């Protein structure tokens, strides 16, 4: 997990990035459908091809400490998967 500041010219934005690792494209798309813009932290899922898989990370410009963002992200993902498993 990293936090960095991006200079957009008229303003600077702090972005928090959470590395999720490598996965296939289909899994990345499923994950994107679960988190893209679905919460007040407005996470965006990003993916880039790398060696036959996809390098995947989530990012947000929500202004909060890293620990708070990570805890919220992990809790949200866990509950999203739990809800899906109940529908099967």
Question: Tens digits of per-residue pLDDT, 1-28?
Answer: 889 998 989 999 999 999 999 999 998 8
Range of the domain at 36: 2-87
Residue-level pLDDT at 72? 94
Residue-level pLDDT at 20? 92
Q: How many Å apart are CA 77 and CA 84, to the nearest integer?
A: 11
pTM: 0.81
Answer yes or no: are the C-beta atoms of 61 and 14 closer than 8 Å.
Answer: yes
Which residues have CB under 8 Å from 66's CB, separation 6+?
Answer: 1, 3, 16
Residue-level pLDDT at 88? 47
Residue-level pLDDT at 84? 65
Give how many domains the chain has, as a whole number.
1
């Amino acid at each position: 997990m990293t936090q960095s500041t991006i200079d957009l010219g008229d303003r600077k934005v702090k972005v928090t990035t959470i590395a999720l690792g490598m996965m296939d494209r289909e899994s990345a798309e499923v994950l994107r459908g679960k988190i893209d813009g679905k919460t007040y932290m407005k996470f965006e899922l990003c993916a880039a091809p790398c060696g036959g898989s996809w390098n995947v990370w989530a990012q947000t410009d929500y202004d909060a400490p890293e620990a708070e963002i990570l805890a919220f992200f992990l809790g949200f993902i866990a509950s999203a998967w739990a809800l899906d498993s109940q529908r099967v």
